[in-house]
Structure 1
């Protein structure tokens, strides 16, 4: 490893293999990553950062970019073994296949299917698989992967839940960490930026959907909100025909319900395709697709289509209705591809294969195809489920954005795709641009631990607590201590907190817990409590609600009213099962639980006794929670006259920050006459600058006040230069005479190369910065340590000339 470090090459100067990743933004991503990782000091390479975050729109070539980075790292002696992590088996398989195509000389293994030999260069894995291997390593059961085994780790996508759940993987391995994500940078969690030691909303590199579409590297959607009455409004009994009323009464068992109650009865829109599945509703959607979707084979066959279904039952129902309505296509034209199907991976590969058309032509997906699937031939996306996450919505849209040459025949390329939304998603995201923000849910085992700790602490602080309650607090403390004392110290995530684990494995440390001790337990121990599969989950949720009720009672919180009602309802439901011997044996306790009288003088100790008596019966209510699906044939309508088109790419652009919009506009218009002159270091006059300002204000900048608020009160020319940089040939020509006439040494020439590269990247250079990094890498004093006074004066004069060419009118 030491030899490899000593022989490392400067990755900033690596010539990227354009056959792997040759598009300009891919090259820029790799260059920015290189500059983010390395600098030169005292003629030696020095690492600057070890984590990088690349935001790249779905379909823009994240995997190709990753493969090109791997090619660079391996050939520059920066990395020998590399780990690629993804959250699903299908994505792991897809990544491995792509890497083998681009880097066939590097051995590769998919740990979800194969066993590692120990010498493989590229290792592909899901997070749980790798977490298990790390824990086995710590327990001495394997010798597969030490902390320094991988020189670089690539992460596919950047979800909060991944970092929270598998943080230990990233802490364990001592390698470069590189994330490539399609999640729009505005939707990345602030903790994600913090994890990569980056400023909020400023990833290492970003190339987003609207830019990719404008550049012609992705195709845009033509999006339509298609209202289907039942999906939009649900079912209202009073609005049904007599025939449909009779069917609904029969299917839902409403025959004994009073006429007055029936008139108010309705099935909400959220229940459609969740438990009520209506044949005409699905038939209308399929008919709309088959008649209005984009076609291939000279218009004879609907193009590749993904239907995003609400759940597995919904998906199966759609497939069944398609086969009944279109038997001429056979049974493989339209298929469900989800985790319930043991042939899902084979079907997925056939659907995505773009060398020839293989069935299925229509894929019905439940989550499995929402993200990460590379299917260039997709022409139609059917949103048949509601989506509330902004990031997920755009990832789903990304299933259709990839280019596909000759899709409709020779020289007839895919120019756009269709998005049909039947569940008001387009309307939702227009009204709620950020979607719904949800917090990552803590595991149930952690919640139980925290609630028990909370109740014990409340009892001990309560001056009115009786002896029974104090004894209960002690019992809870004993149980909490036992869970900590039993933690497996061979688990890697436990070892990271070993000092605190050892501290609280001592029972005496749990007596008289102060605030700092409770914080330490909550933040460093609670998440380590392992999940126990042998205990019924419904019983554990009953435990959790019992602890919550105890806490609410001690705090005299209004929340206790809702929780008490919940307990009474459980009692009433259990009483209906008195024919079960276990219920009959505890009928007296259950009747008390269902009675309001019991709750008049209930205490935390009484609730604990009730919890112990009832928890083992809760599983009997499981069947009630599994609502049986209802299949109907109620009339429905697709309201063609109310179909609305949406320009969602414009909406995406509007969601960008002001800074992003201005920057993107200037880059897009870099060939504008005046911007081009600024880029090529050509002098401009005050009139030209005024004309440019008027153009930018009208098209992108908005008010001058808004510009100053975001970017500061700086000259416009200098600002534009900071975005587009300077043309390399132009800036080299500016310094040619100085370099040729000054008879420079090798170090001085290298210094001038740094000056030129700085101008190319940043467009502007303050002369005072010549005594600061990166200009001190060759000499600690910078320019004055390398050049005599006469040449320092000449060089500074030349630099000021470059700056003045941008400062006219300032």
Structure 2
């Protein structure tokens, strides 16, 4: 019944479960209450009275922190995807916004916004609702009733039930906000993929309606800054093991610079402040022992999930470069080659028409050659990070070679006919094929040779010639050349066509043979990049359309649309040789 599946994670705090009273309030907090001149015995609320008779900032803060940890994130794995918080009241929504702003000041008040119908700033182009739907920020809409129903935001990946719901109909209408699938032609950078959405239920709503939804699956989405820190740390550890002292010191310096980018006013970093003090000791970095590396990996690395104020496209490229340099250090040739091809593809998508990119034209072109990568050094890796990474924000993805769509009146300028028989009669290909099949199926009743074939017996070469002559003399004057043309198969023999018409064996058309061969090739080369797959798709269509292929065609249009050097710019020499073997076999088929 849903367009998109959902998973549910139940979040319930101690105060929600057991209420707020002397038994549940921590001793430290009890002391603060006494100092304020209040009596502990007077504080006695049920969990269901939260946000009604009693307001506890700590409960809301805990819900928000759990959400920030568990929510479905964007492609970079740092910020939550588009989210609706269903709040109890407008005051509740505003308190939640204040908590978001105080816990995560690094987002400068842009992460979460209150969107309620009474606020005139919500409406119109450029209003808060428009921003939520069409802009990167805000990511979180704190709503009271307004967004419960009727709103269509396909990129919604998180719904937070921060209030109890008692209407079954309304409950499913609220869930319906997240069920819409993405439109492939209208993808937005903050949501490039959506196979399910997450519901965080903070008030046992599913239990109230006696529903047992699928629980949240841990998909292990690792934020990009965490991945970069992790691969650099692995490179340092490898350099130390290989006694590459100069390299390890250089990468340690980069790691320290990375640590300096942690947002110091983030609640996550403030909580870890005591642990991070160890890093301020110079002795920590003098000799990185296995214990220190374990500390960096288990304690420091996860903190990088808080890094959001950065150029993620540049960071992604840097991560790729560190990965390929690590593969080279470990002499993992296959992995190095695979990563290299991916990086070359990224670089090839930089538009040289942009002035700032044109300044690095020489490095861009040089870094796409096999020679460059065969002699690459650590200094070259550093140069790529320094000069090319900042340009990645201008990168243009390859435009899919899909047909443009119009609705224009057209007329027939050419229609394919076949001529047959001594009178040179003409029929469309489809009509002639229909006549052939009708005639052969009629003759089965009276022709002994066709009967033998129908019964699964073989006939001799002489009998085949005899059958061919008989069919040629019968209207519509069937010949091997005409059969090859109308069945789109250039190499099949006469008896194969007859068996195909009689339903004894399936005869693949040339396009089917080509498509099957290409599908097998791609399955055997599962590592092919998106650009290489696009090239193979274009090559398949070219062969089907033209019925022939010369080696020189592969460095001419339309293949130069994918890369200026055609096949040479997309595949390695060894891969090109494999492709030529494939195409040669098809041309002979």
Normalised by the length of structure 2, the TM-score is: 0.33
If the length of structure 1 is used for normalisation, what is the TM-score? Answer: 0.24
**Which structure exhibits the higher relative contact order, with contacts defined as CA atoms closer than 8 Å and separated by 6 or more residues?**
1
More strand, by proportion: 1
